[in-house]
Amino acid sequence: MNNYTENIYPIFDRLLQKAAKEKLLKQRTKALWMTGLSGSGKSTIGQYLEARLHKDGYLSQMLDGDNIRSGLNNNLSFTASDRKENIRRIAEVSKLFVNCGIITLNCFISPTKEIRDYAKNIIGENDFLEIYINAPLEECEARDVKGLYKKARKGEIKNFTGLDSPYEAPQNPDLEIRTDQMTVEESADKIYEFILPHIKY
């Protein structure tokens, strides 16, 4: 705890319980934490998955780099401490949604075990599923969806994950998806089948 929280008295114990909200929504909730290189397919899969869940009556909320960094976290840079603060806020937001019975689809590179564990600790281990969206660097670079690899190769972006900043692959993810070996639909459907037992009421 820091100094600013000493006079704050959380009221979580007086709020309506998560279970009551899950009952209302007729679903159980999880935070899906999708980690992987830029261009590996996190956002594309997240969008497809959100639509599929919606169609089948499951309420979810996608959180990804672009919607968070342009809003809530628009004052944060890419220094190590701001990257950590970025993840802390995302995990706190995710936790609020999860406690409201809503499934979250979190699409963030989150390159280190430390940063993923940080998110897991905030959200709570029981509510957290780690999904490794895996495609080889060469494939992600060839896709170069946002032209970022090109910029990074030219030196216009520093500390780019996979190039001059390391990506630590998860050692024990709950699920791994090889997006270089499957279509978008197959990838998202595989995640859907995997999470179904966790979210079915």
Positions of E strands within 97-193: 103-107, 128-134, 175-178
CA torsion through residues 138, 166, 174, 132, sign? negative
CB of 181 to ligand ADP, least distance (A): 8
> Encoding tokens for residue 35?
């980690």
Question: Counting contacts by CB under 6 A, is residue 39 touching ligand ADP?
Answer: yes
* Nearest CB to ligand ADP, comparing residues 18 and 64: 64
* Nearest CB to ligand ADP, comparing residues 128 and 132: 132
CB of 6 to ligand ADP, least distance (A): 39
Single out the segment in contact with ligand ADP by CB under 6 A; choices: 42-50, 67-75, 78-86, 117-125: 42-50
From CA 97, how far away is CA 124, in angstroms rounded?
Answer: 13
Q: Which helix (H) or strand (E) holds 43?
A: helix 42-55
Active site residues: 110
The single-letter DSSP state of residue 174 is S
* Nearest CB to ligand ADP, comparing residues 174 and 189: 189
Question: Counting contacts by CB under 6 A, is residue 44 touching ligand ADP?
Answer: yes
